[in-house]
Amino acid sequence: MARRTTKAAKRSTRAAPRRAQAAKKSTRKASTKRSTARKPARRAAREPKSLHDLFHETLKDIYHAEKQILRALPKMAKAANSDELRAAFEKHRGETEGQVDRLEQVFQILGAPPKAKPCHAIMGLVEEGQEVMEEFGDSDALDAGLLAGAQAVEHYEISRYGTMIAWAQHLGLDDAVPLLEETLEQEKATDSALTELAEASVNSEGEEEDFEERRAA
């Protein structure tokens, strides 16, 4: 019992300098707290961002996305094994040029210069597409991979344009609405065309399998 007391006493003497340090730390913490506490006041002095700002930022994002897609589509067309898939990518490349043009018109409506800001989502999807081309370049599954990647891109675009149309309507940017709607229709049509190609190729693969099975029997 006595020994335990001594140990505890020792512990407490050892802990003393640590406690002093901790106290110092907490003073330091308090001073950082004070400095961050000043920030909201500075922020409040700035004009809060609006839906109009958000629309403008999203426009920059999709502008960058379309430009990335414009560069990726020829590579995907070149890689595709099926003539129909290659034709679909080439067709959509042409449409994408028009989409970039329409986005520039939307910038004009805002009275802002056309400016891109990195769209990390499309950068990621393009990177995944490159991975598929590298890893499945000599595989029968390459077209299925390209199709899946392209549809992921179309779905991102459909989501973006759908949102931007709603915001443009809300903000009274009436001239921007039909421009964005025209592009949305193209993205939806591309998605449907890709779905048809995917279904057709899955079906024909099924037929091939049936044929192999019949031949083996």
Q: Is residue 99 a contact residue for Fe ion (CB under 5 A)? A: yes
Among 60, 61, 129, 197, binds Fe ion (CB under 5 A): 61
Minimum CB separation from Fe ion for residue 202, in Å?
22
When the beta carbons of 99 and 201 are compared against Fe ion, the nearer one is 99
Q: Is residue 119 a contact residue for Fe ion (CB under 5 A)? A: yes
Q: Is residue 143 a contact residue for Fe ion (CB under 5 A)? A: no
When the beta carbons of 82 and 163 are compared against Fe ion, the nearer one is 163
Q: Is residue 187 a contact residue for Fe ion (CB under 5 A)? A: yes
Size of the site for Fe ion (CB under 5 A): 8
Interface with Fe ion by CB under 5 A: which range of 23-31, 72-80, 88-96, 196-204? 88-96
Residue 149 near residue 114 (C-beta atoms within 8 A): no
Minimum CB separation from Fe ion for residue 70, in Å?
9
Q: Is residue 144 a contact residue for Fe ion (CB under 5 A)? A: no
Rounded Cα distance between 89 and 156, Å, is 17
Residue of minimal CB distance from Fe ion? 119
Which parts of this chain interact with Fe ion (CB under 5 A)?
61, 66, 96, 99, 119, 121, 157, 187
